[in-house]
Amino acid sequence: MLKKMGEQAIKAKETVELLSTEQKNEALNLAARMLIRDTDRILAANEQDMEAGRKKGMSQGLLDRLKLTKDRILDMSEGIRQVAKLPDPVGEILEEWERPNGLFIQKKRVPLGVIGIIYEARPNVTADAFALCFKTGNVVMLKGGSDAIHSNTAITESLRTALSEAGVNPDAIQLIRDTDRETTARFMKLNAYLDVLIPRGGAGLIQSVVNNSTIPVIETGTGNCHIYVDKDADLEMALEIIINAKTQRIGVCNACESLVVHEAVAKEVYPLLQKAMEKKQVELRGDETFCALFPQCRAADEEDYAEEYLDYILSVKTVKSLEEAISHINRYHTMHSDCIVTKSAERAEYFLNRVDSACVYWNASTRFTDGFEFGFGAEIGISTQKLHARGPMGLKELTSYKYLIKGTGQIR
């Protein structure tokens, strides 16, 4: 079944990659309308998933992620419309040059081809991933969580109907309906058909894809983000940034999980921090210096420093120097986003260059690591690897390039 789907994807790719921007936008706008038109059908399907979820005792949080409402479908639809409005990066000539032998070489931006997405029980990803991939001339094969299978199937049907009506091969989006482990395992080895695999979800899902896929993977989303308060920091600014990065939204990958503080300001910072975090009900887990001030706090261990809590917990580490702060961060971070708060441009520059993360901040919240906040207009995820794309991935990051070489009979 997977093989047949793969062949269909390849077939669809041949025409989808050649669609004009206008054709793609038209199909996207039709898809946006189709979701609205099919709202009742989608909601009914979603209710099946919700009922099954309640029966099996899914947590309130997971149920909330799974749930669709009229408004949420409207949001999905509006999301697709927004993607239609974005500039199309495909077809751009990135470079061109002539060789001494007269060969004329063009480097042209092209779609990646067939993109696989593996995600959890979030039905909105179905519409979202489709829109971004389709806008960039890619074909998608989606493998969503089994708990959302009815919702995903309903949404996919609407999108496929819209494509057909727009005269586009509906296999530009295919949903894998078998949600068992074996199918997933085989999907991750479908190198003959897929050009890239992008996991979207928690650390467990991502690790499983990284470990098992033979298809090139873009690793996304795990964020153990640090804020380092330097000895020259504006402490008021530091505190505002910490509060924002830690508490504005808890469960996201660009939230702050670890605080690093220069010993010269530790005694001043910690009481302020403790008060602010208590107010926000954030538990602090500190090192010796911190715990000496607040003996009731739990001591932070190695695991705390490495942990992406996604919770009301923050680890705290005191350092003797900027150098030690950088070492600590480079050791424990996930190469996602880290920040220095300092008034010294020189020390900031050093930190920015030495900390090996996708996004390194000087005096700003790590929460800005986001395709929309960067001005990309969209986001398929945040890459924490160095190959292909790093940090927020927008439309351009869903493309590759090819070389077109024009000659007049040149031989070597």
**Residue ranges binding a second copy (CB under 8 A):** 14, 18, 97, 99, 103, 105, 112-113, 191, 195-196, 210-211, 214, 216-219, 234, 237, 240-241, 243-245, 248, 330, 348, 352-354, 356-365, 367-369, 373-375, 385-388, 390-391, 400-412
CA distance 377 to 354: 29
Q: What's the closest the beta carbon of residue 254 comes to a second copy, in angstroms?
A: 9
Q: What's the closest the beta carbon of residue 294 comes to a second copy, in angstroms?
A: 25
DSSP 377: S
Q: What's the closest the beta carbon of residue 118 comes to a second copy, in angstroms?
A: 16
Q: What's the closest the beta carbon of residue 59 comes to a second copy, in angstroms?
A: 26
**Considering beta carbons, is residue 276 or 352 the nearer one to a second copy?**
352
Q: Are 136 and 235 in contact (CB under 8 A)?
A: no
Q: What's the closest the beta carbon of residue 113 comes to a second copy, in angstroms?
A: 6
Distance from chain centroid for Cα 234: 31
**Considering beta carbons, is residue 202 or 216 the nearer one to a second copy?**
216
**Considering beta carbons, is residue 164 or 410 the nearer one to a second copy?**
410
Q: Are 408 and 102 in contact (CB under 8 A)?
A: yes
φ, ψ of residue 319 in degrees (nearest 5):
-125, 155
For residue 200, the SS3 value is strand
Could you give the maximum distance between any two Cα atoms of the chain, in Å?
80
Q: Are 80 and 132 in contact (CB under 8 A)?
A: no
Tokens of 341: 């708060």
Q: What's the closest the beta carbon of residue 133 comes to a second copy, in angstroms?
A: 13
**Considering beta carbons, is residue 150 or 367 the nearer one to a second copy?**
367
**Considering beta carbons, is residue 72 or 108 the nearer one to a second copy?**
108
Q: What's the closest the beta carbon of residue 369 comes to a second copy, in angstroms?
A: 8
Q: What's the closest the beta carbon of residue 6 comes to a second copy, in angstroms?
A: 13
Q: What's the closest the beta carbon of residue 406 comes to a second copy, in angstroms?
A: 5
Tokens of 350: 């050093």
> Could you tell me which residues are beta bridge partners of residue 106?
96, 404
Q: Which alpha helices (H) appear in 224-356, and where do they start and end?
A: 235-247, 263-279, 288-293, 302-306, 322-332, 345-354
Q: Are 391 and 369 in contact (CB under 8 A)?
A: yes
**Considering beta carbons, is residue 99 or 280 the nearer one to a second copy?**
99
**Considering beta carbons, is residue 205 or 237 the nearer one to a second copy?**
237
116's enclosing H/E stretch is strand 114-119
CB atoms under 10 Å from CB of 195, counted, come to 17
**Considering beta carbons, is residue 50 or 218 the nearer one to a second copy?**
218
DSSP-derived pairing of the beta strands 173-175 and 139-143: parallel
DSSP-derived pairing of the beta strands 256-262 and 313-319: parallel
Tokens of 39: 């709202």
CA distance 86 to 74: 19
**Considering beta carbons, is residue 70 or 402 the nearer one to a second copy?**
402
For residue 203, the SS3 value is helix
